[in-house]
Structure 1
């Protein structure tokens, strides 16, 4: 496995999708035959950091191992700083695929320049929760009025969109009733809470169930205040539109095997998709349920064309 890194600065030359809604750059020069992967070329994936714990098996390495075994192809990983950078790497033909949660998938697919290779429907479990330290005076979501809250990433389903919707339902409006900061990931939001920089951290419900190393607080050190609604689409694998047909078919067959229930524990942060029955090549309408929740966070999917 080869591993590359694209920093935020390195993405400046790539046409950016922004959450305020801007026109997508013309991609007529991409997707040509000279950018399509040959049938025996490495499969390339863009990922965000999943774990910094040197004592634990990195879920990205596990993903690569399993995908190489199922496809008999080398897999190369490019590390990028956030979800939107994953989308940009795919849309600009820097990588073949990326694994995304529901909201960034919807944002990406709505541009018309990225394909959903497959998607996992949601279940009836809460997606997100907001956590506080055990000695915090905050007992409920309503108590977060006037407080500072850490979110993972402005394109994160479990670390931003669903918590903002949950807070909205509790009568709290971002920038009016509470201050939001973006910590660059779930680990960053946990660190901000631990260091007393914020009053609460909103994160994936699943991470709190997993415990260390994905969730750093031991029993008795933290409390959850509130649970979000379920999500109709749990996540997806996005692909560049210039991906060759043979590789596309190979991935459609291999990825459900990679994300089988038996691999759930090893996949750790990716384990939320494991064991779910995917929808192959879903239509853009599959992601339409995100529009209302996105608008609560000030994002209009139709602006991202």
Structure 2
């Protein structure tokens, strides 16, 4: 059955203010009175995301003259809700959240992120070395850490992988924990708070600075098929000229030292590729084949 993302908080990000309400409200979008909220999903270290997100917002402001305000939402679902409510015209949405937001309220992708030279990535299922877990079938009766119910590699795809291996993620696990970010999943598995977890490849590198032996203590037991990368997406109310200015500014700053550093910190991004919605069609087909009903989830 389709995962139920409704367990995640769905309120709009707390940083949203009356002034940012809306494309269709009073005032022109991107002025000091009506700054454009650019919302980020909390997939990594929240403090790092907000600091580098604010830097990116400032660079876009300098290049476009638009007023931009960055925030990190409380959950993946909160970004979707904020975009659909007109409270966040720009969203740095992960793959599954984008597909949901597109279905729900016409949110449209402009850029896919690039890492390691391409616009695709894979997910992994990791296990604590001492857990005795060597295969997906060994997860029965174990504690599993997920990222967030709308995380593509940290929830949606690994659940499909578990089912294919004969493990029902709703019934066969001893306990499921929602860790909130990929870093948190790795740390929980490292410390033994969870026997196993699901993240992108290779989230262990993101915490290696604090846990130098993480790759010895936390093993990869399975890898997913390729997944299209996360997005920079726009609410449908965003005027084409505003959208073009922001997209061009992001493409420019991704070629500059300061911009490269901020993108690396925010989500380990190397650059961007211009894409349209059809870039995600193959992935939609995979979800459909696995019984994930996007139309139903978007209601």
1:151 equivalent in structure 2: 146
1:266 and 1:191, CA in 2 relative to 1: closer, same or farther beyond 3 A? same
TM-score (norm 1): 0.75
> Unaligned regions of 5+ residues in structure 1, if any?
1-6, 13-28
Paired residues for 1:128-139 under 5 Å: 128-139=123-134
Match of 2:45 in 1: 51
Contact 1:110 1:301 in 2 (8 A): yes
Q: Secondary structure of 2:214's match?
A: coil
Matches within 5 A, 1:165-244: 165-178=160-173, 179-212=175-208, 218-231=214-227, 233-244=228-239
Alpha-carbon deviation of 1:64?
3.0
Structure 2 runs not aligned, ≥5 long: 1-7, 14-20
**Cα gap change, 1:168/1:218 in structure 2, threshold over 3 Å: closer, same or farther?**
same
Does the alignment pair 1:258 with 2:253? yes
Is contact 1:151–1:160 with CA below 8 Å preserved after alignment? yes
CA distance in 1 between counterparts of 2:47 and 2:292 reads: 34
Tell me which residue corresponds to 1:15: none
2:94–2:151 Cα contact (<8 Å) kept: yes
Query: Which of the pair is proportionally richer in helix?
Result: 2
How far apart, CA to CA, are the structure 1 residues paired with 2:212 and 2:59? 27
Match of 1:77 in 2: 70
4+ residue runs over 4 A deviation: 7-10, 38-41, 120-126, 213-217, 260-266, 269-273, 295-298
TM-score where L is the length of structure 2: 0.76
Distance, in Å, in 1 between the alignment partners of 2:238 and 2:253 is 20
Q: Secondary structure at the match of 1:84?
A: helix
Residue deviations 1:255-297, cap 9 Å, x none?
2233449655542364454334221xx24x4433333543577
RMSD: 3.6
**Distance in 2 separating the partners of 1:188 and 1:248:** 33
Correspondence for 2:17: none
